[in-house]
């Protein structure tokens, strides 16, 4: 039977990971994500798992990548400065098609910024932060329940597509305490093993190769260099590089509408809020307190790859409003996919948009 718990967001993240079968955590403490590492340090040894505190975030993500290649479901958790340090090895994980989960409990930046305040300023960094062309999957919880559910889901997406997957939360959700439902079990989608005699980096029908777990006799060469389907370096052949990078991007982008996780409210509305993460809470409060059939809501639980087709679900829409705890990072993506007016509502400093601020916007409608 499922059970009801009163839990902090960061704790729910750790519990969701454990329920999904995470058995390795490599990390370095950083505010406001440290409770995840602390909880994993207590719980992993009791589940035959391994917790390692590394010397820094660069080593942490390297350890996670190595653990994944042994077949373990592996994760790390960090915040802004640590996330920046991980970027080179995140690119390595993309190129080597290493499934892993990176949790970013975002805080105000740049630099040391606001260690104890929430933000959403890393949304473009998780999409474009490492060099080169690639595509990512990023989930964004708006509640403690979603912290649990989406962290568990992140492992399935990582294994299915053989990619690093990001859980882009923030201090607001990470330190919120709410009642959540813990299910008996969560769905687990295991990575497809590499069949004997199959080239280790040849994509299947979905563009995703089988996974050659270390120790299973595959003898696979793994490199961050451009490589052919055998895994051997081929860094000077333009055709090999183009084919490889196009497959790395396509295996995610071609499935973006299948990957999409969202909620639609009032699809006939003319004014539509588009939210992810904490601002979702404010919009839901506005719509609960003053129901208005002319106001709709698209709540994205997965931001990348961006599911642009969802905007067309609002057939009568005249305006999209995008409140974000940054200077409009995802609003730019909404603008790319519609000819309608897009009102970006940025907010910096660590404070969440209040329902009153959003009501003022609605009252100013023509």
Could you read off the pLDDT of 290-313 as tens digits, one per residue? 898 899 999 999 999 999 999 999
Per-residue CA distances from 58 to 27, 50, 55, 67, 200 (Å):
9, 18, 8, 15, 27
DSSP state of 322: E
Does residue 110 have a cis peptide bond before it, meaning omega lies within 30 degrees of 0?
yes
Residue 365 has pLDDT above 90, yes or no: no
Tokens for 185? 């079990």
In this predicted structure, the answer to whether residue 147 has a pLDDT above a threshold of 90 is yes
CATH class of 3-182: alpha beta
Confidence bin at 129 (pLDDT 50/70/90): very high
CA–CA dist 170, 278 (Å, integer): 8
Q: Report, as an integer, the average pLDDT of 143-166.
A: 98
Residues counted in the chain: 366
Where residue 287 falls among pLDDT bands split at 50, 70, 90?
Answer: very high
Whole-number Å distance between alpha carbons of 107 and 276? 16
| Range 263-363 classified under CATH 3.40.50.12780 | no
Domain with CATH 3.40.50.970 in the chain: 3-182
Task: Look at residue 53 in the predicted model and tell me its pLDDT.
Answer: 98
Give the span between the Cα atoms of 177 and 4, in whole angstroms. Answer: 13
pLDDT band at residue 163 under the 50/70/90 scheme: very high
Neighbouring C-beta atoms of residue 285, cutoff 10 Å:
15
Cα 269 to Cα 267: distance, rounded to the nearest angstrom: 6
pLDDT of 26 higher than 80: yes
pLDDT in tens, 236-260: 999 999 999 999 999 999 999 999 9
Residue 60 and residue 37: Cα distance in Å, rounded? 12
**Which residues of the chain form beta strands (DSSP E)?**
3-8, 22-27, 50-53, 73-78, 100-108, 114-118, 137-139, 164-170, 177-182, 262-265, 271-275, 295-300, 302-304, 319-324, 342-346
Q: What is the pLDDT of residue 318?
A: 97
Please determine, for residue 1, whether its predicted confidence score (pLDDT) is greater than 90.
Answer: no
Model pLDDT for residues 318-364, shown as the tens digit of each residue? 999 999 999 999 999 999 999 999 999 999 999 999 999 999 999 98
Mean pLDDT of the chain: 97
What per-residue confidence (pLDDT) applies to 130?
A: 98
SS3 178: strand
Nearest CA to 103 out of 212, 178, 21, 17 is that of: 17
Location of each CATH 3.40.50.920 domain in the chain: 263-363
């Amino acid at each position: 039977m499922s059970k009801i718990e009163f839990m902090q967001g960061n704790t729910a993240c750790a519990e969701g990971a454990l329920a999904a079968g995470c058995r390795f955590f490599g990390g370095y403490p950083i505010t406001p994500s440290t409770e995840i590492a602390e909880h994993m340090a207590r719980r992993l040894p009791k589940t035959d798992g391994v917790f390692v505190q590394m010397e820094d975030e660069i080593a942490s993500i390297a350890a996670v990548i190595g653990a994944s290649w042994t077949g373990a479901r592996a994760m790390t958790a960090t915040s802004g400065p640590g996330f920046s340090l991980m970027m080179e090895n995140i690119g390595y994980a993309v190129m080597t098609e290493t499934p892993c989960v990176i949790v970013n409990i975002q805080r105000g930046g740049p630099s040391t910024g606001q260690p104890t305040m929430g933000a959403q300023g890393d949304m473009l960094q998780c999409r474009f932060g490492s060099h080169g062309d690639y595509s990512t999957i990023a989930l964004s919880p708006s509640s403690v329940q979603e912290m649990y559910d989406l962290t568990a889901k992140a492992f399935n997406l990582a294994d299915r597509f053989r990619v690093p997957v990001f859980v882009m939360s923030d201090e607001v959700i990470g330190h919120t305490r709410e009642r959540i439902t813990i299910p008996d079990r969560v769905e687990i989608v295991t990575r497809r093993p590499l069949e004997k005699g199959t080239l280790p980096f040849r994509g299947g029908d979905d563009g995703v190769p089988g996974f050659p777990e270390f120790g299973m006799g595959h003898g696979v060469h793994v490199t961050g260099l451009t490589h052919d389907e055998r895994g051997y370096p081929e860094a000077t052949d333009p055709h090999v590089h183009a084919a490889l990078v196009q497959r790395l991007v396509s295996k995610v982008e071609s499935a973006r509408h299948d990957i999409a996780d969202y909620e639609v409210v009032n699809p006939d509305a003319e004014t539509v809020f588009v939210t992810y993460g904490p601002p979702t809470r404010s919009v839901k409060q506005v719509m609960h307190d003053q129901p208005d059939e002319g106001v709709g809501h698209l709540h994205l639980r997965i931001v990348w790859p961006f599911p642009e087709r969802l905007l067309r679900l609002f057939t009568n829409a005249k305006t999209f409003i995008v409140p974000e705890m940054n200077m409009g990072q995802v609003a730019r993506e909404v603008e790319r996919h519609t000819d309608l007016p897009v009102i970006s509502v940025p907010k910096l400093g660590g404070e969440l948009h209040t329902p009153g601020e959003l009501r003022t916007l609605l009252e100013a409608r023509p």
